[in-house]
Amino acid sequence: MQIDQVFGNDSATDWLRYARSDLAVAIESHSPKVLLAALCFHAQQSVERSIKAVLVRRRVHFPFTHNIGDLVEILRRSGIPVPAELEESGAPRSYTEECLYPGYPEVTDSDYRKAIQVAEKVLAWAEQMIETDD
């Protein structure tokens, strides 16, 4: 996908819909059969998509990346306020590789709770940012 396509048929609302879906998967799929790393990955995806929704609304170009730190830096450079949860703790832990490959340290229940908390707060921030732009 070319970056210009982001501003074509996609909208900030679409990005938020996907962010909400990822967060719902992370919360509602919590069971002993599901790896916490997989749930944390969906929480991470929610954070990414929430940030990207704000960037799309503000028409700020961004690379297709899973690196939240890079996305936060784009927010800063664009003069967009960064959510406190991302300022205080830096970029949340990346669960991309833990989700895809065995051999990484186990994700703890504490890690999971923190990932959900950050995703919920960043999603609420994105919704507020987009609502105030309307």
The whole-angstrom separation of Cα 68 and Cα 47 is 8
Per residue in 30-72, pLDDT (tens digit) is 999 999 999 999 999 999 999 999 999 999 999 888 888 899 9
| Residue 89, token pair as written in the block | 């703790």
Query: What is the model's pLDDT at position 134?
Result: 56
Q: What is the pTM of this model?
A: 0.86
Alpha carbons 51 and 71: distance in angstroms, whole number:
7
Whether CATH 1.20.120.330 fits 3-133: yes
Instruction: Please compute the mean of the pLDDT values over residues 107-132 and round it to a whole number.
Output: 93
6's tokens: 């982001």
DSSP annotation of 102 reads: S
Neighbours of 11 (CB within 10 A): 15
